Amino acid sequence: MNINIYKSLEECNFRLAEYLIKQYLSKNKNIAISGGSTPIGLFTEILNQIDKKFEIKSNFFWVDERCVDPSSVESNFGSANKHFFSKVNISNNNIFRMRGEEKPEIETSNYTELLKTKTEIINNIPSLDLCILGIGGDGHTASIFPNELKKLSDKSDCVVGINPDSGQKRVSLSIKQINNSKEVIFHVCGSGKKDVVDMIISKRDNYLDLPASHILPKSKNLSWYLDFDSAETFMSA
């Protein structure tokens, strides 16, 4: 496990963007991205570091998606498209969104088949080259929440997650699928995540009750990109 801690959110985004541009974006790689506010800063930093002629050759998939229309402000695809894909040189043929407008039980099956046809099969499971994850303040990752720990052992490649607060359904890669990625990066910023970050990295208290603690890629290629705020408790331990 590789832990990278930076003084500010801006530096964290800069270093991760630098790594992605060098190692992934100009190559035919399969990348899964997450939703939420944290990736927006990363998208902005990538845009700052490339010019308009830079051709992005990677294929993009999603870690999870809310069951909403892609035009919704809640759509993970919609956010990524607004802040990134609409502003860069990339073919639409390289973008493979989860269809949040479909019934989630149908889309989990459809997306599983898509992964099987578009990615390398390793251990009889589709394998992404890179999976970039976030963490919620409750320790959830992708759309696997602490009240649904039974999904940790789900043998499917994609599952239906349910937000415990809103009851909203989501389509999500399974823990099994994420752990079959060649590389996994946790990109976590902000003081609201500092306690769960410490619990998971330090394996402290009831850390196994947090879904994010079960991200243990078979490749053993796991990295953390943290700012000082999210790493505060870990650094002071």
User: For 37-89, what is each residue's pLDDT tens digit?
Assistant: 999 999 999 999 999 899 999 999 999 999 999 999 999 999 999 999 999 99
- Which residues, other chains included, contact 114 with Cβ-Cβ below 8 Å and sequence gap of 6+? 96
The residue type at 71: S
DSSP assignment of 167-205: --EEEEE-HHHHTTSS-EEEEE-SGGGHHHHHHHHHT-T
User: What is the per-residue pLDDT for 218?
Assistant: 97
Q: What is the largest CA-CA distance in the chain?
A: 49
Q: What is the pLDDT of residue 153?
A: 87
How far is Cα 24 from Cα 130, in angstroms, rounded to an integer?
9
| pLDDT tops 80 at residue 121 | yes
Q: pLDDT (tens digit, 9 = 90+) per residue, 21-49?
A: 999 999 999 999 999 899 999 999 999 99
**Which pLDDT does position 194 carry in this prediction?**
97
Average pLDDT over the chain, rounded to whole?
A: 96
55 three-class SS: strand
pLDDT band at 154 (very low <50, low <70, confident <90, very high): confident
Share of the chain above pLDDT 70, in %: 100
Question: How far apart, in whole angstroms, are the C-alpha atoms of residue 46 and residue 43?
Answer: 5
How many Å apart are CA 182 and CA 199, to the nearest integer?
Answer: 24
Q: What is the pLDDT of residue 52?
A: 87
Architecture of domain 2-236: 3-Layer(aba) Sandwich (3.40)
Please give the radius of gyration of the chain, using alpha carbons only, rounded to the nearest integer: 17
